[in-house]
Structure 1
């Protein structure tokens, strides 16, 4: 059977159209989540000029000299700049890569801050403090897109609740002060750089996303690959104007793996010894730090032994970040690691 990432028009929810129209969208999304775990979303309502402003802002920042970008590094924080080869996403799954810290992408993160919720006593260690580069319009353009991506993510969780029959406010209870992070990625090496790493060239290693749902803006450049149920890798490229959406680990936990937190990676094309540049911006909607995530009662099967143990969002995210950022295997990611290792023995 051929592999396909479904395209879903969510405008019925964005525009608050009829119940029947929304039900059709929820049904299509249920199939996509169960069979693929990835989808192309159109009708999302994010204006082209906001996306264009984001793209130009990426160019402004990543075009700076490395020594200037390094001024925006924030140790032990999910904020600021990450230079090439400072992370290994495969370790977030407990999988030892051929070369540790071999993901050559660079990134810049901003996100929801504890002070964004003044009525709550939130810990800045969970939410972080944003560091804004002193570039014209950087904060304004990135913040505008952040708000739009956040709106799309919350629209999606509304659709999730309808598709699962979980009640309209199910996700509100675990996302009303969500750890939302926007990660801007640049897959490129400086001109003249010799591509010689101590393992396979890896843009971003095999991983699943940590939270509830990810909304991804990306260039229409090859590189993103998704693992199917048969353990084969497939190239995925966004359609014109579409946003890519995939589920995270916490949604797999909520649905007892009825819906898939799909493994994916970035394998950048190398032409004549140089890497074709690729940009992407991932919005991670991870849930409240203190929320306890457990499987829906309606999806429990006490006889099959699949149900996940309840876990707080804080503990789950911390274990994943310790792998990708600090080089420590995440030994709790048993299922995901097994899928990566099995896929390594097969060819797409």
Structure 2
């Protein structure tokens, strides 16, 4: 059988890994999907995933089924909408975020307020789970079959496997969470190519080096491919900010608000932020490859009270008042993020907004 011919693409050259030695790293658990092929290994990985989501809301996933060459090519493709698309075409595909409650299309720089009058220098291109639902910039079109294959593999072959482990961690049937996250027309999960551009020193000083404020994702889970620019930090279990270390060909998975509500607060929605990289990576652009996973739109964000774990441990997080559906939750959170007026909290360094009756915190 002849090899599949794919269109050529200019290689993305990532930054060298930092050699800074005085950075404080988060100690994240690594989930090995290869070990899930035996009953003993599956039980072991389910316990590791459960404990990691309960304690930190973050972990790595390795042996996921995509080799390094495939991931490298995906990064090559991810750079195209930033480096090979003219500004007028970007504007033509700009997302109508506030109007639609979705990010689909370009989020151009200067959209979000960071601090002290400084706006972001982050650009991303967002695409739906089913890429044929909308038109894409010309340069991306030859690569859409590869991107679609990546989206489906990430959702079905990786994240659904992770969800089975997390269902077992709640002592529920392993398909409990998977069935709530179908890969079909009821699900509005989406992918993102994301570019962080360096900022002038004056802006770094006015924001104290924060590129994106500390926040929790409103999704069920977020999957991002590890890349070498050291800028992502987690607000760890003890309240300290720590860096996420780069791990070759690993996915970094974090828990979002949807999964936190479904687990009654047992799985922790991870607070994370992006900051100025170390000195030896200063000036490098940071390219990201993401997949944001939702439940089906009709799912209500109520705790899974059939879980023996929740029955024993109790519920610590629930939406007050009427329980929103995923559709209401995702659209409202997307429309307001980064553009609503925030109120000062009594907690130091924290601002908040009220979304669907929920206090959504932003960490400076």
Match for residue 145 of structure 1?
Answer: 150
In the alignment, which of 248, 258, 262 is matched to residue 240 of structure 1? Answer: 248
Aligned partner of residue 135 in structure 1, secondary structure: helix
In the alignment, which of 333, 340, 352 is matched to residue 327 of structure 1? Answer: 340
Match for residue 165 of structure 1?
Answer: 171
Give 1:106 deviation, angstroms.
0.5
1:10 lines up with 2:33 in the alignment: yes
In the alignment, which of 47, 50, 58 is matched to residue 27 of structure 1? Answer: 47
Match for residue 258 of structure 1?
Answer: 266
Moved over 6 A (4+): 301-305
Match for residue 190 of structure 2?
Answer: 181
C-alpha change, 1:111 and 1:20, in structure 2 (3 Å) is same
Q: Confirm or deny: 8 A CA contact 1:80 1:130 kept in the other structure.
A: no
C-alpha change, 1:306 and 1:211, in structure 2 (3 Å) is closer
RMSD: 2.9
TM-score (norm: length of structure 2): 0.77
Unaligned 5+ segments in structure 1 are 89-96, 117-128
In the alignment, which of 55, 59, 69 is matched to residue 75 of structure 2? Answer: 55
Report the number of matched residues. Answer: 313
Q: Confirm or deny: 8 A CA contact 2:194 2:288 kept in the other structure.
A: yes
Q: Confirm or deny: 8 A CA contact 2:190 2:293 kept in the other structure.
A: yes
Give, in whole Å, the separation in 2 of the partners of 1:71 and 1:203: 26
C-alpha change, 1:27 and 1:99, in structure 2 (3 Å) is same
Describe how 1:172-321 pairs up with structure 2 within 5 A.
Answer: 172-176=178-182, 177-189=186-198, 194=200, 196-197=202-203, 199-200=206-207, 201-269=209-277, 271=279, 275-297=283-305, 298=307, 299=310, 306-309=317-320, 310-321=323-334
Describe how 1:75-86 pairs up with structure 2 within 5 A.
Answer: 75-76=96-97, 77-86=102-111
Q: Confirm or deny: 8 A CA contact 2:25 2:242 kept in the other structure.
A: no
Aligned partner of residue 188 in structure 2, secondary structure: strand
Give, in whole Å, the separation in 1 of the partners of 2:90 and 2:44: 46
Aligned partner of residue 85 in structure 1, secondary structure: coil
C-alpha change, 1:327 and 1:86, in structure 2 (3 Å) is same
Give, in whole Å, the separation in 2 of the partners of 1:184 and 1:2: 25
TM-score (norm: length of structure 1): 0.80
Q: Confirm or deny: 8 A CA contact 2:26 2:245 kept in the other structure.
A: no
Give 1:34 deviation, angstroms.
1.1
